Amino acid sequence: MPFTWYALGDCHPSSQSHPVQIIIFSKYGFTVTEQTYQRQASDDEIDLVELFQSLWAQKWLMILVTLLFAVAAASYAFLSKPVYEVSATVLPPSLSDIAGFNLGRTGENNGGLEPFLIDDVYAVFTRNLQSDRSLRKFFKEFYLTSLDDTQRLGSQYNIYREFKDKFSVKAVDKNQPERYSIVIEHYNPELASAWAKQYIDQVAERSLDEMLLNADRELAVRARNIQQQIKSERDSAKARREDRTVQLQEALTVADTIGFVNPPVVNTELSAFMDGSLMYMRGSKALRAELEVLLARTSDDPFIPVLRDLEAKYQLFAGVSPEPSNVAVFRQDGDIEVPDQPIKPKKALIVALGIVLGGMLGVFIALIRVMLINRSTMNTLKKTY
């Protein structure tokens, strides 16, 4: 029961006819009333009016606590350094941006290399954009140099963690996974804007170098393969010429031995045998003339059917190299602007929260104070009666 009562007088508490003086104690205070012992069901409910009156008596305490919290929140909101956010968005390059990478890449169906696709080029850029290596390089070259000696005294690991909390690279939208945003938070909006541009430029330079190296390396490998093929064709032609020379020399020896100078009239069937063991039948005069020509030959290139095609392919692969100024690995969506409004602290929200929390704490303290006062009063009355 929330109420404790004491009857004063000689009447039995169950009597319905004699009024007695009753002291009713509640946790909000006590009252002295003269009434019968008939109790109503509402006696078990908390007297909200009495509670409100008790709290109203503590109004200055609640106001004081609320003001203290409001002043503390306002001090934090207006005295803390404002933080600005700079955002830069990047997109895949266009077809014209990557055309320079595809010089000499005519497709495997034409005996060349497969051309680079937009996704191939952009994948290199986004991988470097999100890599920890790029972030650490930027941290050492730009972020650390912006700190004073006092700020650099702490653990570099902790400094790097703080830096990563201010720096993020993320996809802008799940429906557009190719759009990436670089977000930097800092007290200095101009410095944050410069950092965003420097980071993108650093990643773009690294990605461009990687793409150029890949393109040049593949072209060089294909050029070396064709060069080796040309060398093999020339070696084969030289070997065939030397074999032909030996055959002619042997046939000439036979023709000279039998005194066969000029060949007879040759029909179609017989001409087929003159390149084999019957080559001597061509006559020593013809054999000697061909042998002298072969021995005087300085190059077999005109007699290699595929040589000119191979040389053209070699010039295609060895004579081209993408120009860095004519290619790009990304596109930037808009300019990187310097923000003029901080993202935090949110002053109005902080002050409002301070007032709400202060008011709640003030009511809580007032309730505790009322409870302690009433308990002390109840103990005093118990001793008195």
Which of 333, 355, 374 finishes a domain? 333
Cβ atoms of residues 128 and 206 within 8 Å: yes
Would the CA dihedral through 105, 110, 111, 116 be positive or negative?
A: positive
In a domain, 339, yes or no: no
Do 42 and 109 sit in the same domain of this protein? no
* Dist. CA 281–CA 287, nearest whole Å: 9
In a domain, 338, yes or no: no
Structure confidence by residue, pLDDT tens digits, 95-136: 999 999 988 887 766 667 889 999 999 999 999 999 999 999
In a domain, 239, yes or no: yes
Structure confidence by residue, pLDDT tens digits, 319-345: 888 888 889 999 999 889 898 888 888
Please give the sequence-ordered ranges of beta strands (E in DSSP) within the chain, or none if there are none.
Answer: 4-8, 20-26, 29-35, 84-91, 167-173, 176-186, 331-333
Look at residues 296, 311, 301 and name the one whose alpha carbon lies nearest to residue 236: 301
Q: Which residues in 73-104 are b (16+ Cβ under 10 Å) and which e?
A: beeebeeeeebbbbbbebebbeeebbebbbbb
Count the domains in the chain. Answer: 2
Indicate the helix (H) or strand (E) that contains 147: none
Assign residue 121 the CATH number of its domain.
3.30.1890.10
Do 324 and 370 sit in the same domain of this protein? no
**Confidence (pTM):** 0.67
**Residue 36 confidence (pLDDT) above 70:** no
In a domain, 236, yes or no: yes
Do 217 and 309 sit in the same domain of this protein? yes
Do 69 and 152 sit in the same domain of this protein? no
Cβ atoms of residues 360 and 86 within 8 Å: no
The one-letter amino acid at 188: N
Domain housing 259: 84-333
Structure confidence by residue, pLDDT tens digits, 250-285: 989 988 888 888 876 555 555 555 666 678 788 889
Which residues have CB under 8 Å from 304's CB, separation 6+? 233, 234, 237
C-alpha triplet 164, 170, 174: angle, nearest 5°: 155
